[in-house]
């Protein structure tokens, strides 16, 4: 039910689920009702809210948002978001929030919308670059986005760039950003993502994989099986011959080129002039990571690791990581020398001995699958799961070191959305009195998490989803605010019961 005043309110009714959902309005406190859904879809979930100036908005599935300016007599389509998929609406009087696979926000009554961090919950980042310390470039199946760590909002880059067409996202040694498309085009930016230009690839079968060695040479594998090399950051290319479809190129710390081709992991020790088989892993084997001293090859039943360039291998089955037959290992990345993270469907694992032994680092991200883990150019570690997109604090990724932050910083809670609890991290360059509180969307205090003096360093606190009286709060959007003598910051989080 949506109430406009004590006499006027709206309800949605299932007349013939799921084929006919109706909206009814009363002007006399419920004594009489009239149907008010002209222009609305009939076979989808509907939620009604009031926007600024009591404008009526209805959210429907497929990311559709409808508006009525005549008190519900007629409706017109206001906005459609393909990423959101569904749309359930709430309003705090100033902003309108639409929920579905993620969250979008409008600050001007629904005219314009921006995506929030939570929207990445179901559109997993497949590639990631840092444009600067506060801005990320993210590719997923829907497109190419920039994401602000400060505002927790994203915006799409180029509506003509389809995410599923992008096969390679890489920053090259000249500082440019390179996108390789399945259709055989390159998209390049030389100004850190501000503008983009298109050129044809040397092979019209499309870009399958790309890697750059320490000399700056680029090696490109095409879907047609031809391999090319560029010694001038892609200005010109020379053919290296037909190798077969290369699923992935990676260079190790000795600049040896490794690649997955057909049944075999193969390598080149002469700059691509020749390749030689390393091991037959079958079609289920795929090169997933090269860290400082290790090769990791994913197999359906586990993961193999080599620390001597592929001459010998150590195998760990899925059961070692507590995985069943339907769960798999996703990726491996190196935080620091000998300090590795491994992402699986159910949890994140950590190794401090170069991958010889692993222990569970944390529970699964918010009760959902971890799809990928990235190490950015700055050294930050980012995790993508079905419940969101998160950054691991630098204090966590630095083994055996205690780093005093250079500035105050409030981190995004992890996981987010969450149920039933979430962790909030913050950094302090010097000792200070700290207030950290949780508020609801009406600015009412829900929970005081910290109210005392704290030392310099990296800190975190867990909110269990209860209020100050110890009772669980309902699902919804909450804000947490930190106040010190020299610093104030606010961030948003979502509790989903």
Whether 76 and 20 map to the same domain: the answer is yes
Most confident of 120-129, 158-167, 182-191, 330-339: 182-191
Whether 97 and 166 map to the same domain: the answer is no
Instruction: For residue 146, tell me if it sits in a domain.
Output: yes
Q: What is the CATH number of the domain that holds 448?
A: 2.60.40.4070
Whether 78 and 171 map to the same domain: the answer is no
Whether 63 and 9 map to the same domain: the answer is yes
Instruction: For residue 53, tell me if it sits in a domain.
Output: yes
Q: Which of 63, 82, 112 is the last residue of a domain?
A: 112
Instruction: For residue 317, tell me if it sits in a domain.
Output: no
Mean pLDDT of 404-427: 84
Instruction: For residue 374, tell me if it sits in a domain.
Output: no
Instruction: For residue 356, tell me if it sits in a domain.
Output: no
| Residue 301 contacts residue 316 (beta carbons within 8 Å) | no
Q: What is the pLDDT of residue 3?
A: 66
Whether 85 and 151 map to the same domain: the answer is no
Number of domains in the chain: 3
* Confidence category of residue 122, pLDDT binned at 50, 70, 90: very low
Rounded Cα–Cα distance for residues 240 and 224 (Å)? 13
Q: Which of 112, 133, 161 is the last residue of a domain?
A: 112
| Residue 381 contacts residue 371 (beta carbons within 8 Å) | no
- Residue bearing the bigger pLDDT, 114 or 106: 106
Predicted confidence (pLDDT) at residue 295 exceeds the cutoff of 60? yes
Whether 83 and 9 map to the same domain: the answer is yes
Whether 90 and 139 map to the same domain: the answer is no
Whole-number average pLDDT of the chain: 78
Instruction: For residue 388, tell me if it sits in a domain.
Output: no
Whether 59 and 21 map to the same domain: the answer is yes
Mean pLDDT of 333-345: 79
* Confidence category of residue 404, pLDDT binned at 50, 70, 90: low
Decide: helix, strand or coil at residue 99. Answer: strand
- Residue bearing the bigger pLDDT, 207 or 436: 436
Q: Which of 112, 139, 157 is the last residue of a domain?
A: 112
Instruction: For residue 479, tell me if it sits in a domain.
Output: yes
| Residue 325 contacts residue 317 (beta carbons within 8 Å) | no
Whether 22 and 90 map to the same domain: the answer is yes
Mean pLDDT of 121-127: 56
Whether 95 and 150 map to the same domain: the answer is no
The 3 state secondary structure assigned to the chain is CEECCCCCEEEEEEEECCCEEEEEEECCCCCCCEECCCCCCCCCCCEEEECHHHCEEEEECCCEEEEECCCCCCCEEEEECCCCCCCEEEECCCCEEEECCCEEEECCCCCCCEEEHHHHHCCCCCEEEEEECCEEEEEECCEEEEEECCCCEEEECCCCCCHHHEEEEEECCCCCEEEEECCCEEEEECCCCCCCEEEECCCCCCEEEEEECCCCCEEEEECCCEEEEECCCCCCCEEEEECCCEEEEEECCCCCEEEEECCEEEEECCCCCCCEEEEECCCCCEEEEECCCCEEEEECCEEEEECCCCCCCEEEEHHHHCCCCCCCEEEEEEEECCEEEEEECCCEEEECCCCCCCEEEECCHHHCCEEEEEECCCCCEEEEECCEEEEECHHHHCCCCCCCCCCCEECCCECCCECCCEEEEEEECCCEEEEEEEECCCCCEEEEEEEEEECCEEEEEEECCECCCCCECCCEEEEEEEECCCCEEEEEEEECC
Instruction: For residue 337, tell me if it sits in a domain.
Output: no
| Residues of the chain above pLDDT 90, percent | 13
Q: What is the CATH number of the domain that holds 31?
A: 2.120.10.30
> What's the pTM?
0.59
* Confidence category of residue 367, pLDDT binned at 50, 70, 90: very low
Whether 107 and 122 map to the same domain: the answer is no
Whether 6 and 107 map to the same domain: the answer is yes
Rounded Cα–Cα distance for residues 139 and 123 (Å)? 9
Predicted confidence (pLDDT) at residue 219 exceeds the cutoff of 90? yes
| Residues of the chain above pLDDT 70, percent | 76
Provide the residue range defining the domain that includes 425. Answer: 409-495
Mean pLDDT of 123-141: 75
């Amino acid at each position: 039910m949506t109430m406009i005043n004590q006499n006027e309110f709206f309800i949605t009714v299932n007349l013939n689920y799921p084929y006919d959902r109706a909206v009814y309005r009363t002007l006399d406190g419920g004594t009489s009702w009239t149907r008010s859904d002209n222009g609305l879809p009939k076979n989808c979930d509907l939620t009604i809210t009031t926007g600024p100036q009591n404008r009526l908005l209805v959210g429907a599935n497929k990311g559709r948002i409808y508006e009525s300016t005549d008190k519900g007599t007629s409706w017109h389509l206001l906005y459609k978001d393909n990423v959101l998929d569904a749309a359930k609406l709430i309003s705090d009087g100033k902003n309108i929030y639409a929920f579905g696979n993620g969250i979008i926000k409008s600050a001007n009554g629904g005219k314009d919308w921006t995506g929030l961090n939570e929207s990445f919950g179901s559109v997993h980042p497949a590639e990631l670059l840092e444009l600067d310390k506060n801005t990320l470039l993210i590719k997923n199946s829907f497109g190419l986005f920039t994401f602000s760590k400060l505002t927790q909002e994203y915006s799409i880059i180029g509506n003509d760039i389809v995410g599923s067409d992008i096969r390679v996202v890489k920053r090259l040694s000249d500082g440019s950003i390179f996108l390789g498309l399945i259709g055989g085009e390159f998209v390049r930016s030389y100004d850190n993502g501000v503008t983009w230009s298109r050129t044809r690839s040397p092979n019209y079968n499309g870009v399958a994989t790309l890697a750059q060695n320490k000399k700056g040479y680029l090696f490109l594998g095409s879907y047609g099986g031809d391999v090319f090399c560029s010694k001038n950051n892609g200005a010109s290319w020379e053919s290296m011959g037909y190798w077969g479809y290369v699923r992935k190129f990676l260079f190790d710390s000795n600049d040896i080129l490794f690649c997955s081709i057909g049944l075999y992991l193969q390598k080149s020790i002469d700059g691509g002039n020749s390749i030689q088989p390393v091991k037959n892993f079958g079609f289920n084997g795929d090169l997933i990571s090269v860290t400082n001293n290790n090769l990791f090859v994913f197999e359906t039943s586990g993961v193999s690791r080599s620390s001597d360039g592929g001459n010998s291998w150590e195998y760990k089955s899925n059961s070692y990581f507590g995985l069943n037959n339907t769960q798999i290992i996703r990726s491996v990345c190196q935080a620091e020398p000998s300090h590795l993270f491994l992402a699986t469907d159910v949890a994140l694992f950590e190794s401090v001995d170069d991958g010889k032994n692993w222990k569970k680092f944390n529970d699964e991200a918010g009760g959902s699958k971890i799809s990928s883990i990235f190490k950015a150019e700055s050294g930050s570690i980012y995790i993508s799961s079905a419940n969101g997109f998160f950054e691991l604090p630098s204090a966590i990724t630095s083994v055996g070191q205690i780093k005093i932050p250079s500035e105050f910083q409030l981190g995004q809670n992890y996981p987010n959305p969450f149920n039933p609890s979430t962790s909030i991290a913050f950094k302090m360059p010097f000792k200070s009195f700290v207030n950290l509180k949780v508020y609801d969307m009406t600015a009412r205090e829900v929970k005081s998490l910290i109210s005392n003096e704290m030392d310099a360093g990296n800190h975190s606190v867990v909110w269990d989803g209860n209020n100050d009286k110890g009772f669980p709060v309902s699902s919804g959007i909450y804000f947490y605010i930190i106040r010190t003598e020299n610093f104030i910051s606010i961030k948003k989080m979502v509790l989903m019961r």
